[in-house]
């Protein structure tokens, strides 16, 4: 079994030079066959295999090493460590259009792209019209690329890629540019390309695209693989990470710390079946509230997404429920969310203890949980629906 | 078809050797055609400029050296053929080296994004300059013959190989300079005055015989002295016999080429980050 693309322990160091003397020093080191003295580790320890017909999404924050990885795969740079093995023709589409020469006209760039793939001008003769039609940029095709808008550059780049059909298609954030209708055209083309056995390496900030187009995803963080696995799972983990990060920048969310500042306090909080729950199954939130004065407290349960967005909240008094005392001053409560409508992702359950009149908030406790599932629906919850 | 990316010439390693060679030729053709097109077709005077500039220089030298200084003793030849035969190859070098030195910057977009052997950029740049200057050279030889100067066209049998030897050496120098320029931007600035000085140290405007005897070996040691001497031998004197020095020159040119390419290939993997 030989994979179309094998990456083993790939890593890349960039030389760090900030002074003129540093540059001279670097040249001297390189000429002697030495590695650069001071380096920046852009990528490290990346492993994956891509079979023919497979699709991999690379995700991560800016500067995580995504582009470096794609450049290594495309052969633009050599890995400092590890190996990259390719069986076939890689049509690099890195940052589409940057492979173009700005002074060339659109037509000349079509020829350049063909030459880069080893095709003689006459070999793409028949494809030129197809490219021009797909790009759909009118008479701009006869003007130098430097006068193009970024959208037009991507259009042309994508059109060339579609006509020349590389064995492995590498796209770096191409779908982010271009208008809606062109994006749809591109996605439709990529889907067809994948159905016909094409292999895709997609780098994107859009989890929607990654989940839609890729089977497997690789999450890079600070140059190192953070997670590798089924695209849906990795994309959700990545989104959850970000939601949490954003929320923690706004207000630090401490997990499950029972503050006993007030009179009414939450003494325990449990999630059943656990903190990982499959979408559409029942989630039970239960615990005990302390009431020092023998009156039944009101319990408010809220569901909050990891970024702090409220999803739903309900209190015992709203539903006319009065908690019963169990032992001592503890009042147990239990709330079951039937057939959980939440979409996959990370959430918090936030439980508040209120006085019997539900006027003052005395305590709150949080617990995180993850909803699992494979769906491409958007938003927070599944709304009951029916297609007519 | 399995190769690993450890080869130094980028994505050429991703295809079968035959396919890589074919691709590189296609790319070189593309770069070469573009060099020629953008250099002269973009300017108003077009291709004529390639000829006008050396002709204007020749006219100025003619005025200065025959009317103002009234130098003589051009080994029995008129000033015009004596200088013209030697001036063009030097101008070719004087144009080819600086252009090639900065050539990689013009392809920065490609170098950063696409895998291809970066050498091709330098080859195309040097080849375009030499091709255009050689065309100008032929045109001037024809004009000289038409105005009655005794030009031995059979001498081209040796003159063409001499140009090739010069081009091979220029390619080697250009590779090294272009690679260094990516990291050290001073290369370009040092090169121009150096070439200017070299021009006056080369017996282009004067015969070697006018140089004081004890300085003659120094001037003769300049490779360009050998080149212009040999060009005058074949085109002005009609002497086609080969000399031992020719073999030395061929060897030296190949050595310069190999050395330049070695420097280039050592530095090329880092271009992407610096260009």
Q: How many C-beta atoms lie closer than 10 Å to residue B220's C-beta?
A: 14
Residues A169-194: what's their mean pLDDT?
78
Q: Which residues pair with B4 in a beta bridge?
A: A85
Residue in A14, A31, A75 closest to B263 by CB: A31
Compute CA B161 distance to the chain's CA centroid, rounded to the nearest angstrom.
13
User: Which residues, other chains included, contact A162 with Cβ-Cβ below 8 Å and sequence gap of 6+?
Assistant: A130, A131, A134, A189, A193
pLDDT at position B16 over 70: no
Residue A256 pLDDT? 38
Residue of chain A whose alpha carbon sits nearest to that of B5: A84
Maximum average pLDDT range among A204-213, A254-263, B41-50: A204-213
Maximum average pLDDT range among A136-150, A251-265, B85-99: B85-99
A99/B113 CB distance under 8 A? yes
Residue in B8, B23, B183 closest to A26 by CB: B183
Residue in B14, B30, B273 closest to A112 by CB: B30
How far apart CA A111 and CA A122 sit, in angstroms, is 9
* Candidate from A192-196, A360-364, B89-93, B147-151 with smallest mean pLDDT: A360-364
Residue A283 pLDDT? 92
- Looking at CA atoms only, how far is residue A148 from chain B in angstroms? 15
* Candidate from A93-107, A150-164, A294-308 with smallest mean pLDDT: A93-107
Residues A87-105: what's their mean pLDDT?
65
What share of chain A has pLDDT > 90, as a percent? 15
- Looking at CA atoms only, how far is residue B1 from chain A in angstroms? 6
Q: Which residues pair with B138 in a beta bridge?
A: none
pLDDT at position A135 over 50: yes
- Looking at CA atoms only, how far is residue A101 from chain B in angstroms? 7
Nearest by Cα to B14 from B205, B23, A151, B112: B23
Per DSSP, helices labelled H in B79-146 are 79-101, 103-106, 108-113, 119-146
Residue A88 pLDDT? 67
Give the DSSP letter string of A290-321. E-TTSSPPEEEEEEEETTS-EEEEEEGGGGT-
- Hey, is the C-beta of A108 within 8 angstroms of any chain B C-beta? yes
Residue B197 pLDDT? 92
Per DSSP, helices labelled H in A167-264 are 180-195, 207-213, 231-250
Residues A21-48: what's their mean pLDDT?
88
Annotate A300-309 with b (16+ C-beta within 10 A) or e (fewer). bbbbbbbbee
What share of chain B has pLDDT > 70, as a percent? 89
Residue A176 pLDDT? 67
Unique residue bearing structure tokens 């140089």: B211
Residues A175-198: what's their mean pLDDT?
79
Give the containing element (helix H, strand E) for B183: helix B156-183
- Hey, is the C-beta of A76 within 8 angstroms of any chain B C-beta? yes
Unique residue bearing structure tokens 């083993």: A8
Compute CA A127 distance to the chain's CA centroid, rounded to the nearest angstrom.
35
When scoring B115, B121, B179 by the number of chain A Cβ atoms within 10 A, the one with the most, hence best to mutate, is: B115
Interface ipTM: 0.79
How far apart CA A14 and CA A194 sit, in angstroms, is 34
- Looking at CA atoms only, how far is residue A129 from chain B in angstroms? 20
- Beta carbons of B93 and B55 less than 8 angstroms apart: no
When scoring A9, A97, A115, A171 by the number of chain B Cβ atoms within 10 A, the one with the most, hence best to mutate, is: A115
B4 contacts on A by Cβ (under 8 Å): 83-85
Per-residue pLDDT band for B192 (boundaries 50, 70, 90) equals very high
Per-residue pLDDT band for A252 (boundaries 50, 70, 90) equals very low
When scoring A7, A30, A94, A108 by the number of chain B Cβ atoms within 10 A, the one with the most, hence best to mutate, is: A30
Residue of chain A whose alpha carbon sits nearest to that of B108: A101
B190 contacts on A by Cβ (under 8 Å): none
Per-residue pLDDT band for B198 (boundaries 50, 70, 90) equals very high
A75/B263 CB distance under 8 A? no
How far apart CA A338 and CA B137 sit, in angstroms, is 90
Q: Which two tokens stand for residue B229?
A: 């001497």
Unique residue bearing structure tokens 């449990």: A270
- Hey, is the C-beta of A77 within 8 angstroms of any chain B C-beta? yes
B183/A23 CB distance under 8 A? yes
Give the residue with greater pLDDT, B19 vs A53: A53
pLDDT at position A218 over 50: yes
Q: Which two tokens stand for residue A146?
A: 């430097």
- Hey, is the C-beta of A16 within 8 angstroms of any chain B C-beta? no
- Hey, is the C-beta of A371 within 8 angstroms of any chain B C-beta? no
- CA-angle at A194, arms to A192 and A200, nearest 5°: 130
What share of chain A has pLDDT > 70, as a percent? 90
- Looking at CA atoms only, how far is residue A142 from chain B in angstroms? 15
A22 contacts on B by Cβ (under 8 Å): none
Per-residue pLDDT band for B102 (boundaries 50, 70, 90) equals very high
Q: Which residues pair with A314 in a beta bridge?
A: A301
Per-residue pLDDT band for B47 (boundaries 50, 70, 90) equals low
Give the residue with greater pLDDT, B257 vs B31: B257
Residue B106 pLDDT? 87
pLDDT at position B80 over 90: no
Indicate the domain borders of chain B.
Answer: 10-274
B14/A2 CB distance under 8 A? no
A26/B270 CB distance under 8 A? yes
Per-residue pLDDT band for A138 (boundaries 50, 70, 90) equals confident
Give the residue with greater pLDDT, B196 vs A240: B196
User: Which residues, other chains included, contact B164 with Cβ-Cβ below 8 Å and sequence gap of 6+?
Assistant: none
- Hey, is the C-beta of A35 within 8 angstroms of any chain B C-beta? no
Residue of chain B whose alpha carbon sits nearest to that of A34: B266
Residue of chain A whose alpha carbon sits nearest to that of B115: A76
How far apart CA B256 and CA B169 sit, in angstroms, is 6
Nearest by Cα to B131 from B157, B169, B160, B102: B160
Q: How many C-beta atoms lie closer than 10 Å to residue B31's C-beta?
A: 25
Residue B98 pLDDT? 95
* Candidate from A62-76, A154-168, A315-329 with smallest mean pLDDT: A154-168
- Hey, is the C-beta of A111 within 8 angstroms of any chain B C-beta? yes
How far apart CA A78 and CA B271 sit, in angstroms, is 11
Give the residue with greater pLDDT, A253 vs A44: A44
In terms of DSSP bridges, do strands A55-60 and A216-221 run parallel, antiparallel, or are they unpaired? Answer: parallel
Residue in B19, B107, B114 closest to A92 by CB: B114
Q: Which two tokens stand for residue B143?
A: 């004009």
CA dihedral A324, A330, A335, A336 (to 10 degrees): -100
Q: Which residues of B sit within 8 Å Cβ distance of A?
A: 1-6, 8, 10-11, 13-15, 19-20, 22-23, 26-27, 29-30, 34, 38, 107, 109-110, 112-116, 180, 183-184, 263, 266-267, 269-270, 272-273
pLDDT tens per residue across span B199-243: 989 998 888 888 888 988 888 888 999 999 999 999 999 898 898
Residue A121 pLDDT? 67
A100 contacts on B by Cβ (under 8 Å): 109
A71 contacts on B by Cβ (under 8 Å): 113, 272
Give the containing element (helix H, strand E) for A333: strand A330-337
Per-residue pLDDT band for A91 (boundaries 50, 70, 90) equals low
pLDDT at position B54 over 60: yes
Residue B271 pLDDT? 92
Give the residue with greater pLDDT, A163 vs A342: A342
B23/A118 CB distance under 8 A? yes
Per-residue pLDDT band for B41 (boundaries 50, 70, 90) equals low
Average pLDDT of chain A is 82
Q: Which two tokens stand for residue B22?
A: 């074919």
Residue A368 pLDDT? 86
When scoring B39, B113, B124 by the number of chain A Cβ atoms within 10 A, the one with the most, hence best to mutate, is: B113
Nearest by Cα to B101 from B169, B180, B183: B180
Residues B118-139: what's their mean pLDDT?
93
Residues B36-58: what's their mean pLDDT?
73
A2 contacts on B by Cβ (under 8 Å): 2
Give the residue with greater pLDDT, A228 vs B20: A228
B38 contacts on A by Cβ (under 8 Å): 103
pLDDT at position A75 over 60: yes
Residue B104 pLDDT? 94
Q: Hey, what domains does chain A have and what are their CATH numbers?
A: 52-247 (3.40.50.300), 265-372 (2.70.50.60)
- Hey, is the C-beta of A78 within 8 angstroms of any chain B C-beta? yes
Taken as a whole, chain B contains a residue count of 275
Q: Coil, strand or helix: which one is A353?
A: strand
């Amino acid at each position: 079994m030989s994979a179309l693309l094998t990456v083993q322990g790939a890593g890349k160091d960039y030389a760090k030079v900030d002074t003129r003397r540093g540059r001279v020093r670097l040249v001297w080191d390189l000429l002697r066959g030495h590695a650069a003295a001071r380096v920046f580790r852009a990528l490290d320890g990346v492993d994956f295999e891509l079979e023919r017909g497979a699709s991999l999404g690379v995700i991560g924050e800016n500067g995580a090493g995504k582009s470096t990885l794609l450049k290594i795969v495309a052969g633009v740079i050599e890995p400092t460590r590890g190996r990259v093995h390719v069986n076939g023709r890689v049509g690099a589409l890195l940052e589409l259009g940057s492979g173009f020469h700005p002074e060339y006209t659109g037509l000349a760039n079509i020829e350049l792209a063909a030459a880069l793939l080893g095709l003689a001008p006459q070999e793409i003769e028949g494809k030129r019209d197809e490219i021009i039609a797909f790009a759909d940029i009118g008479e701009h095709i006869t003007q130098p690329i430097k006068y193009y808008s970024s959208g037009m550059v991507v259009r042309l780049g994508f059109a060339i890629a579609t006509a020349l059909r590389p064995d492995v298609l590498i796209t770096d954030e191409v779908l982010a540019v271009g208008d809606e209708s062109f994006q749809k055209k591109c996605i439709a083309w990529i889907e067809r390309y994948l159905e016909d056995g094409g292999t895709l390496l997609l780098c994107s900030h859009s989890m929607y695209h990654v989940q839609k187009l890729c089977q497997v995803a690789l999450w890079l963080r600070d140059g190192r693989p953070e997670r590798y696995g089924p695209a849906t799972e990795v994309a959700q983990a990545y989104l959850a990470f970000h939601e949490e990060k954003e929320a923690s920048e706004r207000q630090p969310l401490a997990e499950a710390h029972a503050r006993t500042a007030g009179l009414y306090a939450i003494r325990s909080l449990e999630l059943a079946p656990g903190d990982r729950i499959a979408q559409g199954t029942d989630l039970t939130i239960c615990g005990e509230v302390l009431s020092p004065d023998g009156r039944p407290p009101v319990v408010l349960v809220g569901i909050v997404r990891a970024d702090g967005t409220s999803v739903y909240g309900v209190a015992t008094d709203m539903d006319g429920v009065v908690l019963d005392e169990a032992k001592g001053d503890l009042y147990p409560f239990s709330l079951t969310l039937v057939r959980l409508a939440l979409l996959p992702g990370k959430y918090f359950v936030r439980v508040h203890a209120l006085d019997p009149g539900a006027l003052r908030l005395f305590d709150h406790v949080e617990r995180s949980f993850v909803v699992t599932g494979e769906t491409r629906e958007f938003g927070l919850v599944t709304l009951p629906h029916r297609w007519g | 078809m399995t190769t690993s990316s450890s080869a130094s010439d980028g994505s050429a390693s991703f295809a079968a050797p035959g396919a890589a060679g074919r691709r590189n030729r296609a790319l070189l053709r593309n770069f070469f055609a573009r060099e020629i097109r953008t250099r002269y077709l973009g300017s108003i005077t077009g291709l004529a400029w390639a000829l006008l500039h050396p002709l204007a220089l020749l006219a100025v030298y003619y005025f200065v050296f025959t009317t103002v200084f009234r130098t003589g003793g051009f080994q029995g030849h008129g000033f015009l053929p004596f200088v013209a035969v030697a001036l063009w190859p030097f101008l070719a070098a004087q144009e080819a080296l600086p252009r090639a030195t900065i050539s990689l910057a013009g392809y920065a977009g490609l170098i950063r994004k696409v895998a291809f052997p970066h050498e091709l950029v330098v080859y195309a740049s040097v080849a375009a300059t030499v091709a255009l200057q050689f065309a100008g050279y032929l045109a001037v030889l024809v004009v000289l013959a038409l105005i009655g100067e005794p030009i031995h066209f059979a001498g081209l049998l040796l003159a063409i190989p001499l140009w090739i030897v010069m081009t091979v050496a220029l390619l080697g120098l250009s590779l090294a300079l272009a690679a260094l320029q990516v990291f050290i931007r001073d290369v370009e600035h040092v090169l121009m005055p150096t070439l200017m000085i070299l021009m006056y140290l080369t017996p282009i405007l004067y015969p070697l015989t006018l140089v004081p005897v004890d300085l003659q070996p120094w001037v003769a040691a300049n490779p360009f002295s050998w080149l212009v001497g040999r060009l005058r031998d074949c085109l002005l004197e009609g002497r086609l016999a080969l000399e031992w020095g020719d073999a030395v020159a061929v060897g030296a040119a190949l050595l310069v080429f190999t050395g330049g390419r070695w420097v280039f290939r050592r530095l090329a993997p880092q271009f992407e980050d610096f260009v």
